[in-house]
Structure 1
Amino acid sequence: MEIGMDRREEERVLEKLRGLGAGVSVSDLEIGDYILSQRVVCERKTRADFENSIIDGRLFRQLARMQENYERVLVVVEGENSSGRVSRNAMLGAYASILADFGAGVFFTKTPEATAELLFAIARYEQESKKASLPVFAKRKCLTLLDYQRAVVQSLPNIGPKMAEELLAHFGSVKNILCAPSEQICTVGRIGEKRARMIKNVIEREYESGKEGKTEEEAEQ
């Protein structure tokens, strides 16, 4: 069983996951903090960060991106002490929005270790019971042509499994996606103009061997 984890996440969660027997791939995730299966993504927040992200709206932007790319979205709120910056009514409204607007589940844990145990249980259920393991970790002999097509599309900027399926269904092949102008790409799902331009930059920019290259934001300039 494998779990994808953002490298900026809590070290104690990583240690506990590995102690439980999970294989953990640590990288710079563009969407979410943990990828638990092909269809499940999780955002982990401390109690203080959860409240701050409600105030500045960051939580809902993150949820929108996760919802665009994955079938199931989870939020784990870790810790017990509230900062008191968000009123009870505002907090209840945020919970309602998370559930009603984004279809996401909210879980509460007390410690990083408890978070790891929850993530492990969900990943195990998904990958063993639902047979929804992460394709990037699958053995080569198990991969099908469809797996390879999805993997190619998912390698594009900010494209997860759900959005990859929508692109392939819309254009019919990987070739058609790669050849499509950004004006057509941006009309699929909720990709939008900015993400479509990033995709075309990756496809069309000349490769500069031996150089570190530019970030997505720099490439846009």
Structure 2
Amino acid sequence: MTDVLDIFSKPKIKEKPKLIINPKILADYREKNSMVPSELMHLGIEVEFKHLKVADYLVGEVAIERKTVSDFISSMINKRLIRQLEELQQYQYKLLIIEGLEEQELYNDKSEIEQGVNANAIRGFLLTILLRFKVPIIFSKNEEDTARFINLIAKKKRQEPSLNVKKKSLNKKEQLQYLIEGFPGIGPKTAQKLLKEFKTIRSIINAPLEKVHKLIGKKSHIFKLIDEEY
């Protein structure tokens, strides 16, 4: 009986308060032009600006690409977003935020007239992002709404962002294509054309410039540099 009484009479030991680390994210320098970083700071998040090779924001191992509605449409047309989505594959977790639905519709029945893009083309591209690139899409009303989404992600992660990109291993074909894409102006489709025609990188470099020009047009000018001195 005494033991039982002792249990209840012992003073409670106060637990040390857990140290809560404020969320911190990395933002690309170009994001200084938007209100999102200041909105994040207003929410109590520490924002550090860096030159990010991939994505606009890094929250731990989550890479976030932010597009306004108009930027999304233009980058869809000029294929820039395709390249950015390919680069996002280096990260295990990635997101695309399409911002500005409060002021501008992504598409409607007049899209083809106003934006020069068929509404079905936009729908199809959204499906490509989800199904081919496996990138979830978040639609936000404005910059404040975008910041609140990023704030929630940061609070869930609560860890220092890492610049060490976890790259997936590439097979032989992907490695060859990656090397050719290293040439300025050479994208995935052009790299594939060159490799299908010449088979090896050595053959591409040794091929007559006229033949390369016939295959890829003006983009072939970069190969003139191969014989130039530093």
- TM-score, normalisation: structure 2: 0.58
Report if the CA contact (8 A) 1:166-1:189 is conserved.
Answer: no
Report if the CA contact (8 A) 1:63-1:73 is conserved.
Answer: no
Question: What pairs up with 1:176-215 in 2 under 5 angstroms?
Answer: 187=172, 192-193=178-179
Does 1:37 find its partner at 2:60? yes
Change (3 A) 1:28 1:99: same
Aligned to 1:134: 161
Larger Rg: 2
Aligned to 1:177: none
Aligned to 2:92: 71
- The alpha carbon displacement at 1:61 in A equals 1.1
Aligned to 2:48: 25
Residue 47 of structure 1 is aligned with which of 64, 69, 81? Answer: 69
Aligned to 2:196: none
- TM-score, normalisation: structure 1: 0.61
What secondary structure does 1:74 align onto? strand
Aligned to 2:119: 88
For each residue in 1:56-102, what CA deviation from the matched residue of structure 2 results, as whole angstroms up to 9, or x when unmatched?
111111000111x1012211111131453322211110111000011
- Count matched residues: 153
Does 1:56 find its partner at 2:78? yes
What secondary structure does 1:107 align onto? strand
Aligned to 2:215: none
- The alpha carbon displacement at 1:133 in A equals 3.8
The one-letter amino acid paired with 2:88 is M
Aligned to 2:150: 119
Aligned to 1:143: none
What secondary structure does 1:29 align onto? coil
- The alpha carbon displacement at 1:54 in A equals 0.9
Report the RMSD for the aligned CA atoms in angstroms: 2.9
- The alpha carbon displacement at 1:194 in A equals 5.2
For each residue in 1:38-57, what CA deviation from the matched residue of structure 2 results, as whole angstroms up to 9, or x when unmatched?
2x101101100100111111
Cα distance in structure 1, aligned partners of 2:97 and 2:65: 6
Unpaired segments of 5 or more residues in structure 2? Answer: 1-22, 106-113, 184-225
